[in-house]
C-alpha cells in the first residue's frame, strides 16, 4: 500500500490559530488521498477529534507542545522529529512527505533529499518577520532554515502573495514555481444559521433588532481591532460582538471604557470551536482585515462567508474576490474613518441585500476555498482519489 507522511509541529487538538488550520489540512488530505496517511506531530494536549482519527492511519507523537516560542523547545522537538521521521520512512516507505513549515523545521528537507523522497512544503504564513511586532534574536538562523526548506523542496505552496514574494528568491530558475494555495474553510461545519435563532442560542444577550457586527478570532495586534473600536464611537447605533481572547484583550476593554462605548460592545471570550458558526450567525456582518505590516490570508473571512455573512475586509491580492463578487465591503486602508464608512454601508444596506451578499460569498467559498481544494492542490494527482469517490465518502 502506498503511504504518505505529513509532518507538523502544531498541536492538532488546538481549537484556535494554526492548530485548527493544520488539523483541517490533515483531515482534508486524509479524505482525498489514496495512500495510507502517517502523521508526525506533537502529543496532543486534548483528545484528537474523531473525524481526524478516522482519516489518519497512524500517528507518531513528538514531545507535547510546551513553550513553542522558546529556542530550547524548538531544539527538543526538532531532534525528536528527525528520529521519528527516519523511523517512519523505514516503515512506511512513503511516496512523499508533506511538511507544514515552522521556525525550526530543520530535518525533513535534507532527509528527503538524501533518500530521494519527494518533499512537498506548505508555507502558510511569513515564518520570519523583521518588524515591530515580531522580532527574534535568532532571526538569521530562522531565515536560513526557511531558505533550506524552500530550496530543497520538490514543490512549494504558500497561502498568500506576500509569502511568495518573501521566499521566491530561494528557488532556482530550474525548480517549479511557488504556487499560491489560499486558506479555506470546512463548509460542512460552517453553515448558515438563522440570525434570530442564533441570537437566542448564543450566550451574548444581543439586542434583538440592532445591527450587529461580529469579530471572531485571537485578540492580537495583527487584527487591527482598535480602528474598529474607534469607528464605533462614530456609529452609535451599531453593536459589536467580540468572540475570542488574546494578548490585547485587556487593552481593548480599556479602550472601550475610554471611548464610552461599553453599551455597544459585547465580549464573550473564547467559545467552543463547534459553537463559532452560531456566533457568526448572530451577526449581520463580520470584520476581518489584513494588517499591511503583517500580511496574511485570514481564515475567518472564509468562515464568515461560509456562514453567509457579508464581510468588512481590507484590500489584498487574496481578498479581491470580496469586491468582485459583491460579498462585502473592501476598504483601502484600515483607519477608524474608513472602517466607520464601511460599517455604515453595511448597516444601511437592506437585510435582503446583506443576505444576497452572504449567499454569493458562500457560493464562491464552496467553489474555491474548501480544505479539500487545498489538499488536492498540494498532493500530486497520483496520490488522489477521483472526486466522485471523495464526494461519496463525505456523504
User: Are 189 and 277 within 8 A, CB to CB?
Assistant: yes
> What is the CATH code of the structural domain delimited by 195-368?
3.40.50.2000
Residue 205's contacts (CB-CB under 8 Å, 6 or more residues apart) are: 266
> What's the half-sphere exposure (Cβ side, CA atoms, 13 Å) at 148?
19
Beta-bridged to residue 7, according to DSSP, are 40, 99
Q: Which residue has the cell 463525505?
A: 394
Report the pLDDT value the prediction gives residue 134, as an integer from 0 to 100: 47
| All cell numbers assigned to 371 | 480544505
Cβ pair 309, 213 in contact under 8 A: no
Phi and psi at residue 247, to the nearest 5°:
-65, -25
Which neighbouring-strand residues pair with 39? Answer: 6, 59
Average pLDDT of each block of 10 consecutive residues along the chain (395 residues)?
94 85 96 97 95 97 83 88 97 98 93 98 74 55 92 97 94 95 96 96 88 96 97 95 96 98 96 95 97 91 98 95 97 97 98 98 97 96 78 47
Tell me, what's the pLDDT at 294?
87
Nine cell digits for residue 215: 469579530
Residues in the chain: 395
Q: In what order do the strands lie in the sheet with 179-180?
A: 58-62, 36-42, 3-7, 96-100, 119-123, 155-158, 179-180
Q: Could you tell me which residues are beta bridge partners of residue 241?
A: 214, 266
Residues 6+ apart with CB under 8 A from 238: 210, 211, 212, 213, 232, 264, 343, 347
Domains 3-184+370-394 and 195-368 share a fold: yes
- Give the pLDDT score at 395: 45
CATH match of 3-184+370-394 with 3.40.50.2000: yes
| In contact, 214 and 279? CB cutoff 8 Å | yes
Residue 138 CB neighbour total at 10 angstroms = 14
With contact defined as beta carbons under 8 Å apart, do 272 and 154 qualify?
A: no
pLDDT of residue 2: 94
CA dihedral 12, 13, 17, 20 (to 10 degrees): 70
State how far the Cα of 385 lies from the Cα of 152, in Å rounded to an integer: 27
Please name every residue paired with 156 in a beta bridge, in sequence order, or none if there are none.
121
> What integer pLDDT is reported at residue 129 of this predicted model?
47
The Cα 74–Cα 16 span in angstroms is 21
Break the chain into its structural domains and give their ranges: 3-184+370-394, 195-368
208: Cα separation from own chain's centroid:
31
Tell me the longest C-alpha to C-alpha distance in the chain: 64
What local confidence, expressed as pLDDT, does residue 130 receive?
Answer: 46
Say what the pLDDT of residue 128 is: 54
Tell me the CA distances in angstroms from 296 to 86, 161, 278, 289, one per residue in order.
33, 9, 25, 9
Cβ partners under 8 Å of residue 260, min gap 6: 233
Amino acid at each position: 500500500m502506498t503511504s504518505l507522511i505529513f509532518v507538523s509541529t502544531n498541536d492538532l487538538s488546538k481549537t484556535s490559530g494554526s492548530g485548527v488550520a493544520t488539523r483541517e489540512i490533515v483531515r482534508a488530505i486524509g479524505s482525498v488521498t489514496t495512500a495510507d496517511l502517517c502523521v508526525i506531530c506533537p502529543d496532543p494536549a486534548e483528545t484528537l477529534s474523531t473525524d481526524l482519527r478516522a482519516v489518519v492511519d497512524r500517528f507518531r507523537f513528538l514531545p507535547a507542545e510546551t513553550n513553542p516560542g522558546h529556542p530550547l523547545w524548538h531544539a527538543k522537538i526538532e531532534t525528536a522529529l528527525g528520529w521519528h521521521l527516519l523511523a517512519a520512512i523505514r516503515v512506511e516507505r512513503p511516496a512523499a512527505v508533506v511538511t507544514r513549515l515552522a521556525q525550526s523545521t530543520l530535518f525533513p528537507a535534507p532527509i528527503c533529499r538524501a533518500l530521494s523522497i519527494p518533499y512537498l512544503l506548505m508555507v502558510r504564513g511569513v515564518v520570519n518577520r523583521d518588524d515591530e511586532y515580531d522580532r527574534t534574536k535568532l532571526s538569521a538562523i530562522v531565515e536560513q532554515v526557511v531558505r533550506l526548506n524552500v530550496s530543497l523542496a520538490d514543490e512549494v505552496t504558500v497561502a498568500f502573495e506576500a509569502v511568495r514574494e518573501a521566499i521566491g528568491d530561494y528557488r532556482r530558475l530550474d525548480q517549479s514555481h511557488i504556487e499560491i494555495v489560499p486558506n479555506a474553510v470546512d463548509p460542512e461545519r460552517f453553515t448558515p444559521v438563522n440570525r434570530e435563532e442564533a441570537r437566542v442560542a448564543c450566550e451574548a444577550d444581543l439586542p434583538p433588532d440592532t445591527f450587529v457586527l461580529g469579530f471572531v478570532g485571537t485578540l492580537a495586534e495583527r487584527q487591527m481591532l482598535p480602528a474598529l473600536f474607534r469607528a464605533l464611537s462614530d456609529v452609535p447605533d451599531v453593536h459589536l460582538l467580540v468572540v475570542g481572547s488574546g494578548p490585547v484583550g485587556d487593552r481593548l476593554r480599556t479602550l472601550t471604557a475610554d471611548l464610552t462605548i461599553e453599551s455597544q460592545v459585547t465580549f464573550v471570550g473564547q467559545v467552543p470551536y463547534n459553537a463559532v458558526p452560531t456566533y457568526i450567525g448572530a451577526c449581520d456582518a463580520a470584520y476581518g482585515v489584513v494588517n499591511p505590516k503583517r500580511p496574511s490570508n485570514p481564515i475567518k473571512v472564509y468562515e464568515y462567508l461560509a456562514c453567509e455573512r457579508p464581510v468588512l475586509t481590507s484590500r489584498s491580492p487574496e481578498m479581491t474576490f470580496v469586491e468582485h463578487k459583491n460579498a462585502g465591503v473592501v476598504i483601502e486602508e484600515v483607519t477608524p474613518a474608513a472602517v466607520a464608512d464601511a460599517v455604515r454601508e453595511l448597516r444601511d444596506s437592506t437585510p435582503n441585500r446583506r443576505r444576497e451578499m452572504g449567499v454569493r460569498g458562500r457560493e464562491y467559498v464552496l467553489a474555491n476555498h474548501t480544505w479539500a481544494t487545498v489538499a488536492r492542490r498540494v498532493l500530486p494527482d497520483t496520490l488522489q482519489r477521483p472526486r466522485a469517490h471523495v464526494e461519496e465518502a463525505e456523504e
